Chains A and B, each alone.
Chain A
């Protein structure tokens, strides 16, 4: 195997974990990633290749078969041997194959919503409720630090199942984002290890 001789301490014990940050366009995903990342959020352009071309509505008459998808990611070192990566999903639902890819192997997900424009995050909520096994929570981003809707109203508008935690956050605030990430991990622990009996959240 490839690791026949891998005594190098640089690689031997480093573990990476991933939390996916989803939500519609403009809800603050990049801000959230930037608030906690120790590197500037890398806004990368990944290219979907031939496998996904049937989903590519922007292909022009030039025979181009790839679509540019922006996604960003950040990194938080949690321990000498443990690094947490945050991956922001591209906002548009037409990039769902990309979402599948980003979510594979994730330890949790946060769907960020803007209470003034809940509709832009419907697709993300639907995705995690129906098309993904990754446990997720929903966080209402408090733009200008104000809560514009009661959380119960938000839950109802999103038609969120009772067992999906709903919280608030200020995507610009490091402490707030760290708390939300912790809530996402706690939720994953709750749903994947039924050691905690049904407390709904």
Chain B
């Protein structure tokens, strides 16, 4: 299910496939101050993403899945919303996914689950 089966993805993104900042599939995104007037002016796909993101912190992949907007398009649209300060992209707390403090915390968390 795509949000709009009649439109090619590049139409929604104005032909762009890149965003200014790299958004991983697991990058967390949120809306801090929802603006209904702003939302009403958005194209349907961007509006879906914006509305959904306002429900709470979520990953790019979750937003894509729940809104039925492809990952590539989701990234570009979220990038636009972020550039306009409409969505906040969680800053990386750790410099690397291999940061030993991070990995230790993950291990600790997994052990708590076991």
Contact = CB atoms under 8 A, between A and B. Distances in A.
Most buried by B among A16, A102, A135, A192: A16
A16 B62 contact: no
A73 B30 contact: no
B83 A2 contact: yes
A47 B9 contact: yes
Contact of A47 (B70, B93, B94, B108): B70
Contacts of B64: 44, 46
Contacts of A102: 25
A45 B64 CA distance: 9
A3 B61 CA distance: 21
B110 interface: yes
A7 B83 CA distance: 18
B56 A10 contact: yes
B26 A78 contact: no
B100 A193 contact: yes
Nearest to B17: A51
Interface string A69-89: 000010010110010110100
Interface in B2-25: 2, 8-10, 17, 22, 24-25
- Nearest 3 pairs of A and B residues by beta carbon: A78-B109, A47-B70, A44-B65
